[in-house]
Amino acid sequence: MKKINYHVVRSKKRTKTLMLKIERDGSVVMHVPYHTSEPDIQQFFQAKLPWVEKKLGEKERILGATNKPIRFVPGEKFLYLGQRYPLEYRESKGRRAHLALSHGVFYLDEACAGQGRELFISWYKERAREIFDERVRHYSKQLRLFPKEVGVTSAKSRYGSCSPENKLSFSFRLVMAPYPMIDYVIVHELAHIKIKNHSRRFWMYMEEAMPEYGRYKKWLKENSLLLDI
């Protein structure tokens, strides 16, 4: 594997913990206490290097190629609810919807080819509002936890959040994932209406509400690079 570069973030908080994180774009970030010496940083990185190489290799295999750009051209495939659907152009005929999913194919008006990304984001957001509202209603009744409102965001790494006022927000990118992953994030944020932290009590509640949540959480972590456009 080629040489791996990393970026060091020094924290002024009172902590002795050194931590490595691989970002969505494949960059490696090391969080260290402010006064950590360079030799200690390098020693820590070398000790973690096998793990870093393994994780970067997994990301490359998932993507098929490192940082492969998404192209809005015929034949390119796009995720929706865990399935990949190919894109095809169609003749523009003054339709109101310039992008549609029909019979397992995404159809994009040829005259709007240059707006592919914007149209896909808009399409995903519309589907997200429908799906998130329906799944939140379902689990709210089941768990008897009711949010004040549900919103859709464009967040890239935070798939869901719960405000102090119990307003839930979910990233539209989540609709690219299979339903079990969507349901996990929804149950997770609904649970924060009851427990506002990630304490042991919170995870015990998650275990009770969704016994297989760990599998879904792991899937999202391992496949996060796929949920992008």
In terms of pLDDT, which residue wins out, 55 or 227? 227
Q: How would you class 174 by CB atoms within 10 Å of its CB: exposed for 0-12, middle for 13-18, buried for 19 or more?
A: buried
Q: Residues 43, 107: one domain?
A: no
* DSSP character string of 111-143: GGGGGHHHHHHHHHHHHHHHHHHHHHHHHHHHH
- Whether 71 is covered by a domain: the verdict is no
Q: Examine the domain organization and report whether 201 and 137 are in the same domain.
A: yes
Rounded average pLDDT over 198-205? 96
* 211 DSSP assignment: T
**pLDDT tens digits, one per residue of 63-121:** 554 456 788 999 999 999 999 999 999 987 777 789 999 999 999 999 998 999 999 99
Q: Are residues 53 and 85 in the same domain?
A: no
Residues 128 and 47: their CA atoms lie apart, in Å, by 42
Count structural domains, the chain.
3
Average pLDDT rounded to a whole number, residues 154-182: 94
- Same-domain status, 206 and 149: yes
Same domain? 23 vs 116: no
Under 8 Å between Cβ of 182 and 139: no
Amino acid 7: pLDDT: 87
In a domain, 97, yes or no: yes
Do 110 and 137 lie in one domain? The reply is no
Q: What percent of the chain has a predicted confidence (pLDDT) above 70?
A: 93
Q: What is the pLDDT of residue 177?
A: 96
- Whether residue 182 has pLDDT greater than 60: yes
Is 69 among the domain residues? no
* Of residues 141 and 66, more confidently modeled: 141
Q: What is the CATH number of the domain that holds 152?
A: 3.30.2010.10
Same domain, 136 and 53: no
Choose the final residue of a domain: 63, 89, 110: 63
Instruction: Kindly state whether residues 148 and 221 are assigned to the same domain.
Output: yes
Q: Within a domain: residue 113?
A: yes
Given a cut of 50, is residue 146 above it in pLDDT?
Answer: yes
The answer to whether position 115 is within a domain reads yes
For the record, the structure tokens of 204 come out as: 């015990």
Taking residue 74's Cβ as centre, other Cβ atoms within 10 Å add up to: 13
In a domain, 1, yes or no: no
Mean pLDDT along residues 37-50: 91
How many Å apart are CA 223 and CA 144, to the nearest integer? Answer: 31
DSSP 8-state code for residue 229: -
Q: Do 50 and 91 share a structural domain?
A: no
- Say if 88 falls within a structural domain: yes
pLDDT of the residue at 56 = 79
Based on the fold, state whether residues 133 and 195 are members of the same structural domain: yes
Q: What is the DSSP string of 56-111?
A: HHHHHHHHSSTTPPP--STT-EEEETTEEEEEEEE-----S-SEEEETTEEEEEGG
HEC sequence for 139-177: HHHHHCCCCCEEEEECCCCCCEEECCCCEEEEEHHHHHC
Tell me which residue has tokens 């994932």.
177
User: What pLDDT is recorded for position 14?
Assistant: 66
pLDDT, residue 66, reads 43
Tens digit of each residue's pLDDT (9 = 90 or more) over 12-34: 776 678 888 877 667 888 888 88
Whether residue 68 lies inside any domain: the answer is no
Residues 126 and 218 in one domain: yes
What is the domain extent for residue 48?
6-63
Task: Show contacts of 155-158: CB within 8 Å, 24+ apart.
Answer: 156/24, 156/228, 157/24, 157/224
Mean pLDDT of the chain, nearest integer = 89
Q: Are residues 126 and 219 in the same domain?
A: yes
